[in-house]
Amino acid sequence: MQEKVRALVVTGFGINCEEEMAAAYRLAGAEADIVHLSAIFTQRVSIHDYQILNFPGGFSFGDDLGSARVLANKFKFKQMTSGKRFIDEIERFLNKGRFIMGVCNGFQALVKMGLLPNVGGNFEQEVTLTGNDSGQFEDRWVSCAVQARNASPFLKGISNIDLPVRHGEGKLLIRDEAVQQAIIEKNLNVLTYADEQGRPTSEYPFNPNGSQLNCAGLIDGSGQVFGLMPHPEAYLSLYNHPDWGRLKLTDAPADETGQGLKVFVNIVQHIKES
């Protein structure tokens, strides 16, 4: 009998989307545990007992010093009970072929601790997520296009997806031309904001923040680390969508699941098969 996939969803310090993310994994057929980061840092719970590590959205440390900056520093420099840094445990986790996903505030933490896009392979910060061009918090639904040539098991079989955004600092800025070129050449810009025709766009409000490369989500070169600003865990049912009535009548979906659930089904199925 095949064992269930186990997903670890971290919480604490202002993270507030952990319940929705855990629910997504359970609906996708996995076991999901919500664990406070303190229990991980003191090694009462080990990330190595899981196949996928998840950093949900929220307002870690109140975003007082920039979105997820304090959280990212904690991940990168925190010394655990064993004396090892948490980032070293994450590196070992990835070397085992396991997966990491960060959404919104979790995505901000992944880029600031150097896990994404990590084109240099040394966990140095190469991009950032900063204030939206609109100068305001964007809380609404957007459409996203998936890069056809990508190595992400999270996005298998998805070409376009509607998801909600809820962020004030979602604008991706890339450190320099070399990093940008590497992102393009390695197809790491896997999710872009799209217009009504499903084409990547920099036009507001379709692109809610003005990200370079119209980026809504990145992977690393291995495809094991995935981060995105929109919230797939907030679209688990068709009825989460603000326009569900029209969708049900015109698109005739085969079932009543939301598009966001597909992201979680994809990764759970990939882990089972591998």
Tell me which of 20, 233, 241, 270 is the catalytic residue.
233
Are 75 and 112 within 8 A, CB to CB? no
CA-to-CA distance for 1 and 16, rounded, in angstroms? Answer: 35
Q: Say whether the peptide bond before residue 232 is cis (omega within 30 degrees of 0).
A: no
**β-strand partners of 146:** 191
Are 162 and 241 within 8 A, CB to CB? yes
Tell me which of 20, 126, 231, 241 is the catalytic residue.
231
31 catalytic, yes or no?
A: no
> Which among 81, 83, 63 is positioned nearest to 72, based on CA atoms?
63
Tell me which of 104, 144, 167, 270 is the catalytic residue.
104
H or E segment at 94?
helix 86-95
> Which among 156, 162, 163 is positioned nearest to 266, based on CA atoms?
156
104 catalytic, yes or no?
A: yes
Alpha-carbon Rg for the chain in angstroms: 18
CA-to-CA distance for 59 and 129, rounded, in angstroms? Answer: 14
Residue 175 backbone class (left: φ over 0; alpha: ψ -120 to 50; beta: rest): alpha
> Which among 143, 142, 147, 145 is positioned nearest to 190, based on CA atoms?
147
Q: Which residues of 42-55 are buried (b: 16+ CB within 10 A; e: fewer)?
A: eeebebeebbbbbb
Query: 3-state DSSP call for residue 160?
Result: strand
233 catalytic, yes or no?
A: yes
Kindly list the catalytic residues: 104, 231, 233
